[in-house]
Amino acid sequence: MIENSILQKESRYVWITWLLSWSGLIVMCSLYLTLPLNSLFSSEFDISVSRAALTSSLFSLCFACGCLVYGAIADKYGRKKVVLFGLICLAVFTCAAGWVHSFAWLLLLRGLQGLAASTFSPVVLAYIVSIFPQHRRVTAIGFVSTGFLMAGVVGQVAAGIISTQYNWHGLFLLFGSLYIVTAGLILIFLPNDSAQQPELNVYAYLKQIRAILIQKDLLLSYVVAFVLLSSFIVMYAILNHYLQQSLYSLNVESILEIKIAGIAGMLLSPFAGKIAQKTNARFTLLLGLTVSIFSLVMMALWTALAGVILFSILFVAGIAISVPALVAIVGQLGLQRRGIAVSLYTFILFAGTAFAPYWAMQILSFSSGSPAFICNAILLLPALVAVLLIRIPKL
């Protein structure tokens, strides 16, 4: 009987892990849905491509701002309640975006989508810590982080396929429906958390940011956060343009298949904890950044298609092990202010993605060939230097 009870509990944690991973994947897809649609929006709304890119940048900025406050709100009112409320709002705003025919309305709804989607990522990690037993937390966080990363490919691939086969309105309506279904699953299957703190003063919580910003090592970790995910977005923007050139002349379907191959690199994210256990989080982050920079340089030098595909996967693998390692470092450096330190990390991480479409356009205007990958590698160099300067106190 005891053994059966343990098995039931273990299988329940497995199911919750998969549900949270799916939720993380589908929610974070909303960030990437409009990245491949800039040319389409430019044509339909008769605007410049750079203005069309605001659909992604505004989402990222609103998402980043939401990440600053929802952690504290979730601590005050309950994490499951905040996640559920955010998913319902995200479903409504996403479905509404599928019916608009004005760029101004689309921009407004993308901003609201960002605010709604940001209820998930900063809250779910704290939820895992409060619900899961200690021996399952690292694995659960690794799987959820993998879902976050996979969204970068899945969101763009889904947008490319659906907008080509149907139209972009159908894309938003489909994802809005998926958010409704996901909200229902979370309502039914996710246990309520007991980490409510009704007495928590959200304003006082946010005032701790000042104390965080005077810590040199945390500031260095935020330099890494600012460029880490944005370089991921820039790489795929460059790759998409690069593979359409005369050297390869690949069609849309072939390019989508190459993007899907990048998922193989993301599967390393759950193993970042294993690497950190054998070494430390700082070494893991250095390893990930070095692999990503090296891969970008090789993508520029090795023009054979097989080489470009191989090193694009290795680039993604480097980012995949860097993200959880950086979260661990921020948590260690935050000490008693760990919660607000991680919230600020999430804000800066996604604030960086707001600039990614602009950086990609500037790099491609400078060079649409292999040197563009070198420019992206240079973008990551400050992160590598920052990690070398970080000093993590021994606990």
- Mind listing the pLDDT tens digit of every residue in the chain (395 residues)? 334 444 356 678 888 999 999 999 999 999 999 988 988 999 999 999 889 989 998 999 999 899 888 877 887 888 899 999 999 999 999 999 999 999 999 999 999 999 999 999 878 877 887 787 766 776 787 788 888 888 988 998 899 888 878 889 999 999 999 999 999 999 999 988 765 566 767 677 777 777 788 889 999 999 999 999 899 989 988 998 888 876 777 877 788 888 888 888 887 776 766 676 677 888 889 999 999 999 999 999 988 888 999 999 999 999 988 888 888 888 788 776 776 787 788 888 888 888 888 888 889 888 777 889 999 999 999 999 999 999 877 65
C-alpha separations of 123 from 68, 82, 126, 252 in Å? 11, 8, 5, 36
**Structural domain spans, the chain:** 7-207, 208-390
Find out whether 263 and 25 touch, Cβ atoms under 8 Å: no
Look up residue 379 and give its DSSP letter: H
Q: What pLDDT score does 291 carry?
A: 95
- What does the alpha-carbon distance between residue 66 and residue 354 come to, in Å, rounded to a whole number? 14
> Quick one: pLDDT at residue 382?
94
Domain spanning 208-390: CATH superfamily:
MFS general substrate transporter like domains (1.20.1250.20)
DSSP secondary structure letter of residue 34? T
What is the gyration radius of the CA atoms in the chain, in angstroms? Answer: 20
Q: For residue 185, what are its two tokens?
A: 């699953």
Assign residue 78 a region: left if phi > 0, alpha if psi is -120 to 50, beta otherwise? left
Given this model, what pLDDT does residue 29 score?
A: 95
Cα 78 vs. chain centroid, distance in angstroms?
A: 23
Residue 390, phi then psi, degrees to nearest 5:
-70, 135
Of 331, 233, 319, nearest in space to 269 by CA: 319
How far apart are alpha carbons 10 and 28 in whole angstroms? 27
Amino acid (one-letter) located at 135 = H
Of 323, 167, 350, 160, nearest in space to 237 by CA: 160
Secondary structure class of 393 (helix, strand, coil): coil
Q: What whole-number distance in Å separates Cα of residue 37 and Cα of residue 90?
A: 20
Return the closest-CA partner of residue 377 out of 293, 287, 267, 257.
293
CATH topology of domain 7-207: Growth Hormone; Chain: A; (1.20.1250)
**Burial (Cβ within 10 Å: 0-12, 13-18, ≥19) of residue 215:** middle
Non-local (6+) Cβ contacts of 29 within 8 A are 151, 154, 155, 158, 175
Token duo for residue 55: 């659909």
> What is the rounded CA–CA span in Å between residue 176 and residue 264?
27
Cα–Cα distance list, 128 to 19, 61, 133, 239, 337 (Å): 12, 26, 9, 35, 18
Beta-carbon contacts of 344 under 8 Å, excluding residues fewer than 6 positions away, are: 68, 209, 212, 222
Taking the C-alpha atoms of residue 226 and residue 355, their distance in angstroms, rounded to an integer, is 10
Chain centroid to CA 273: how far?
A: 18
Residue 218 near residue 334, CB atoms below 8 Å: yes
**Other beta carbons less than 10 A from residue 390's beta carbon:** 20
Which pLDDT score, from 0 to 100, does residue 2 have?
39
Beta carbons of 321 and 288 less than 8 angstroms apart: yes
DSSP states of 141-206 as a string? HHHHHHHHHHHHHHHHHHHHHHHHHS-HHHHHHHHHHHHHHHHHHHHHHSPPP----TT--HHHHH
Q: Which of helix, strand or coil describes residue 302?
A: coil
pLDDT (0 to 100) of residue 6:
42
Domain 7-207 matches domain 208-390 at the CATH topology level: yes
Nearest to 293 by CA among 232, 381, 353, 223: 381
